[in-house]
Amino acid sequence: MNLYEELQWRGVLYDATEGAEAAVGTEKLTGYIGFDPTAASLHVGSLLQIMNLARMQRFGHTPIAVVGGGTGLIGDPSGKTAERQMLTKEQTEENLAGIREQLARFLDFNAKSNPATIVNNYDWLGTISYIDFLRDVGKYFTVNSMLAKESVKRRIESEDGISFTEFSYMLLQAYDFLVLYDRYHCTLQMGGSDQWGNIVAGKDLIRRLRAGKAHGIVTPLVTTASGVKFGKTEAGAVWMNAELTSPYRFYQFFLNTDDADVIKYLRFFTWLDQAEIDTLAESMESEPERREAQRTLAREITRMVHDETALAAAEKASQVLFGGEMEGLRAAEVADIFQDVPSSELAKAELSGEGIGLIDLLVSAGLASGRGDARRLLQGGGVYLNNHKVDEVQKSVQLNDAIEGKFLLLRKGRKNYHLVKIV
């Protein structure tokens, strides 16, 4: 199987330029995918393109990751309904550093025959003069063809329209392809289907100026079965930076994948082969309650994006939700795990000395309707403090019971949690 066939069976081949299939199947190419540094981290919406760059390398081709320090200052209108916020050069440089580190987890920069490369297109876009760019690049594009681009047409029809700055983005990306062709003999560009017009523009520029043959392959835009853009949640984007999205939240995002999407995502975002994925598909039919496909998806991606240690911590945190041991969890992890459960505050002074009775704590937390109800819950073995069962009616809760002196976790029954924040 070659790269083209791999993309086909994984369902990530949306379209390709003429001759791309033969070239990918018979030659060792140098290819690139671009990533604009619009934030300090990539989010999982970029994961398919990152995986495709890594697949390129695994099949013997030489991958180039273009981090758009130049184009990031402009903003690509593709897939956007409004103008992007303009970034400063300083913001762009700061974002570049974080993105380079994330890409390094997927690409081998020391491979003997086809080492990966990361380049910043500001290196060439930041030095070319406007006059030279118009003479050497702009003259090969007609406004007619640029206006025909779908993303441009949508923006022109909108109330705000499109600025000349973003309208010119196609020329910048085409020029990127030309420069990479000259410097690295890069003849393949990959990207999402919304990049088709930009990729073809670069391919045509190489043909016109260098009489060279270049190729383009685009992948489908990833959405959920319900049509929502992949990687978006009610809380916002799911980031690949652990400080922006914790490994626990990251793991949970994939663990909660809908049954209708999970096999597709296993093909898109993991290295599992066809037989392994087919086995997981069978397990969904025979034992759907085990959610083994979702667990495998969450494990594989969390391990790749973070590491084995982060995965172990995320799995332990997930088990805590179902009554697992809390020993070793830090207060910050507890806050992350239980940020969505009901909570209340308790003054630290109330836990000093003999502390506060657990019965009173259950009532104030709303887990019991009154002291009598709380007593019956305790006697029936239905009360847990920090996931340890408590049946002592006279139990007094003190500060040393709190996790790092900051939290007490109460649970009634199997899933009825309440987080007490010590203030």
Q: Is 138 exposed, middle or buried (0-12, 13-18, 19+ CB in 10 A)?
A: middle
Give pTM, 2 decimals: 0.84
Asked if 244 and 40 touch (Cβ cutoff 8 Å), the reply is yes
Residue 383 belongs to what H/E stretch? Answer: strand 383-385
User: What tens-digit pLDDT sequence spans the chain (423 residues)?
Assistant: 899 999 999 999 999 999 999 999 999 999 999 998 878 889 999 999 999 999 999 999 999 999 888 887 776 555 554 545 566 778 778 888 888 889 989 999 999 999 999 999 999 999 999 999 999 999 999 998 888 887 788 888 888 888 888 888 899 999 999 999 999 999 999 999 999 999 999 999 999 999 999 999 999 999 988 888 888 776 788 999 999 999 999 999 999 999 999 999 999 999 999 999 999 999 999 999 899 999 999 999 999 999 999 999 899 888 887 778 888 788 988 998 888 889 999 999 999 888 999 999 999 999 999 999 999 999 999 999 999 999 889 999 999 999 999 999 999 988 889 999 999
Q: What pLDDT was estimated at residue 100?
A: 85
Domains in the chain with CATH codes:
3-219 (3.40.50.620), 232-320 (1.10.240.10), 337-422 (3.10.290.10)
**What is the three-class DSSP state of 392?**
coil
Q: What pLDDT was estimated at residue 110?
A: 93
HSE-CB of 168 using CA atoms within 13 angstroms: 16
